Amino acid sequence: MEIYLASANPDEIRKAYALPIAGVLTNSSIIKKENRNFHELVEEIDQIGDLPFGLQIAATEEPKMLEETRLFHSLLHNRTLHLKIPYCPDAFKVIDQLKDNDMILNLTGVSTLSQALLALESGIDYLSIYVGRVTDAGGDGVQLLKEIKTYADYHEKPTRIVAASIRSREHLEEVALAGADAAAIPFPLLLETMESPVTDQSVNGFKKDWDQVDLGGKA
């Protein structure tokens, strides 16, 4: 399962680059948290490595959606644009126009199986399921992802299913077992995935024992 960092914080991105992540994904809410000029922020992030960087269209009408796409594309020179497209009727017009461009297309905001059926016919590269938000609304986000993934596999759809809106390590483990192809997680959760008292105890024990090994040369 690919792991994407959900962040627009340059320091977090630099640190995450030491880990095997597939790229960085953002949305307007994540961007807003940085409280910086958008152009300057994206240009700084563009200088950090070369993994795909995701920016999400906020508009829902075709002309404005294409305008935002052109802006995003113009700001990235070292990375592939991972374009996040909100689920709406005009999204499919935009997808048709951008399919052959040098960018990754990700349809986001899917919250029902019926939405996914149509989305999977569009040939989109990635399809993002807001697992946490679906669950918050009274549904079962993990089960929804599992159903969509099962359907996509059965019909041999190439679209990769992304688990977004992940709230905890347990949540991440659940979507992994449900078959998610990718997950977008915040930096604190990314660090948390590596933590375990059992692991710490084992590693510290090995270090302690190693310190007591005679490393002298052959007598």
Type of residue numbered 130: Y
Question: What is residue 203's predicted lDDT score, i.e. its pLDDT?
Answer: 87
Question: What is residue 101's predicted lDDT score, i.e. its pLDDT?
Answer: 85
| Nearby residues of 64 by Cβ (< 8 Å), 6 or more positions away | none
CATH homologous superfamily of domain 2-204?
Aldolase class I (3.20.20.70)
Domain segments of the chain as ranges: 2-204
Question: What is residue 219's predicted lDDT score, i.e. its pLDDT?
Answer: 57
Question: What is residue 58's predicted lDDT score, i.e. its pLDDT?
Answer: 96
Question: What is residue 90's predicted lDDT score, i.e. its pLDDT?
Answer: 97
From its phi and psi, is residue 107 left (phi > 0), alpha (psi between -120 and 50) or beta? beta
| Verdict on whether the full-model pTM lies above 0.85 | yes
Which of 33, 64, 84, 93 is an active site residue? 84
Low-confidence ranges of the chain (pLDDT < 70): 218-219
For the question of residue 64 being annotated catalytic, the response is no
